[in-house]
């Protein structure tokens, strides 16, 4: 008997835009994240993330590796970076998304950021030595790490040497603002950093706007200055954000005519407050920064 032809298997359809899981803020071990870019992308894919930005602090060194792994797993990798900037003596983080990491002005600028980070780490460790702590071996431990040095690495090294009970204690007692071993970094001005991102073809999104210790008026002025300098997005939803932060940030985005981004700020699988793959839903009143980059 002639068998009827087997029905064609359904062609897999890409998920609808609103059903995509998007995370535009994560770290690898090229800054203070724990995972390699390969392991990060694998973990994101396993958690159902469709579109992922790797945004290491002041470094694009992990992007090529992340992009290779994303290609092999069918996940879209957004080339990104989280750049440290200064605004009124406050450290501010600006996400550069859809940047071209090979753009020469950005490459040069990130090389100066790396020098600043190395110099600041040497200065902090000298200060720790003056305080009677083992600054030189702490510096050696931080420098043995593959990525750019951050205070997060130093805090880990101090906990490992039993100089503090936890990372939070290190920031509270030594490295946090106003503490004995806190050294302000000479980060470039906010508008200069935004200029680097724009010149590399990227979009600038102000990272975790609710996390800066600013009055409501100062926060509004920060965002006004950010928008005036060419920033076009706020990170409205970020890992660990309370619902009132999302509301505050949405209202600010609407007030200043900015789009919105979402991101976990994932660093470490051991930290439970910002896991990869948690739904990060942008409020309906906000235009997604990925509109125009991501097709349905």
User: What is the smallest separation between the CB atom of 19 and ligand AMP, expressed in angstroms?
Assistant: 30
Residues of span 61-120 touching ligand AMP by CB under 6 A: 84
Q: Is 23 in the site for Mn ion (CB under 5 A)?
A: no
Write down the residue that tokens 């958690």 correspond to. Answer: 47
Residues of span 227-266 touching ligand AMP by CB under 6 A: none
Tell me what percent of the chain is helix, strand and coil, each rounded to the nearest 5. Answer: 40, 15, 45
Beta-strand runs (E) in the chain: 22-23, 51-54, 76-87, 90-97, 203-206, 233-238, 259-263
Q: Is 32 in the site for ligand AMP (CB under 6 A)?
A: yes
Q: How many contiguous H segments (helices) and E segments (strands) does the chain have?
A: 9, 7
* Pattern 151-190, Mn ion, x by CB under 5 A: ----------------------------------------
Residues of span 155-194 touching ligand AMP by CB under 6 A: 167-168, 171
User: What is the smallest separation between the CB atom of 287 and ligand AMP, expressed in angstroms?
Assistant: 27
> How far is CA 257 from its chain centroid?
22
Give dist(CA 205, CA 207) in Å, integer: 6
Contact between 148 and 28 under an 8 Å Cβ cutoff? The reply is: no
Q: Is 265 in the site for Mn ion (CB under 5 A)?
A: yes
- Chosen residue from 25, 43, 151, 208 binding ligand AMP by CB under 6 A: 151
Of 67 and 156, CB closest to ligand AMP:
156
Interacting residues toward ligand AMP by CB under 6 A: 32, 57, 84, 150-152, 167-168, 171, 267
């Amino acid at each position: 008997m002639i068998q009827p032809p087997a029905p064609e298997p359904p062609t897999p359809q890409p998920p609808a835009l609103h059903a995509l899981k998007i995370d535009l803020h994560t770290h690898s071990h090229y800054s203070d994240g724990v995972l390699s870019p390969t392991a990060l992308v694998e973990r994101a894919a396993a958690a159902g993330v469709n579109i992922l930005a790797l945004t290491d602090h002041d470094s694009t060194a992990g992007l090529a590796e992340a992009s290779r792994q994303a290609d092999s797993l069918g996940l879209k990798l957004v080339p990104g970076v989280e750049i440290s900037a200064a605004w009124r003596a406050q450290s501010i983080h600006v996400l550069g998304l859809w940047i071209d990491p090979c753009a020469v002005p950005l490459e040069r600028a990130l090389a100066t950021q790396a020098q600043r980070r190395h110099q600041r780490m040497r200065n902090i460790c000298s200060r720790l030595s003056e305080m009677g702590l083992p600054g030189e071996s702490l510096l050696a431990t931080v420098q043995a790490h593959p990525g750019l040095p951050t205070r997060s690495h130093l805090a880990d090294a101090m906990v490992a040497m039993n100089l503090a009970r936890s990372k939070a204690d290190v920031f509270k007692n030594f490295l946090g603002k106003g503490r004995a071993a806190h050294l302000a970094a000479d980060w470039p001005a906010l508008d200069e950093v935004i200029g680097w991102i724009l010149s590399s073809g990227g979009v600038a999104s102000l990272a975790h706007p609710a996390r800066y210790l600013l009055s409501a008026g100062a926060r509004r002025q920060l965002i006004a200055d950010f928008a005036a300098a060419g920033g076009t997005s706020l990170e409205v939803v970020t890992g660990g954000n309370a619902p009132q932060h999302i509301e505050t940030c949405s209202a600010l985005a609407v007030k200043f005519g900015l789009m919105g981004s979402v991101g976990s700020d994932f660093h470490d699988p051991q930290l439970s407050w910002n896991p990869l793959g948690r739904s990060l839903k942008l409020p309906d009143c906000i235009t997604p920064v990925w509109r125009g980059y991501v097709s349905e």
